[in-house]
Amino acid sequence: MARYTCSFTIALPIDHLQPLLLELLQGCDLEIQYYNADYILAREIPGNISFSKLVKVEVFIDRSTATETESRMSIVTKNEELPLQLDNHCRQMFEFVKQEIEESRHWHLIESLAG
């Protein structure tokens, strides 16, 4: 199973974060499966890629450390594909979503830590 993670600190009030993340993920051609105040689950839409390579993206919003001006979140990008190659489909989707978050015009990125 391929799995890639990244944490972000952004300059944005926590109340504005979730709607913007939902929009951003949909803009990455991901379908929102579930969401609540501190969690979002999105996945690739079936049809263009084999089932085992379909990527799921989980977003965890850290409400416990949020301030009036800063929010923290983590993403986990995963699929059932074995990561036999460094540049596999899950890694490509992870890098794409990560870049979209880092370059979003809706907030200012303070910190990004990939794991």
Domain ranges of the chain: 2-114
The answer to whether 30 touches 44, Cβ cutoff 8 Å, is yes
Over the chain (115 residues), the average pLDDT of each successive run of 10 is: 95 93 96 96 90 94 91 95 85 96 94 87
pLDDT at 83: 79
How many Cβ atoms from other residues are within 10 Å of residue 84's Cβ? 7
Q: Give me the CATH code for the 2-114 domain, please.
A: 3.30.310.220
pLDDT at 48: 80
Is the full-model pTM beyond 0.75? yes
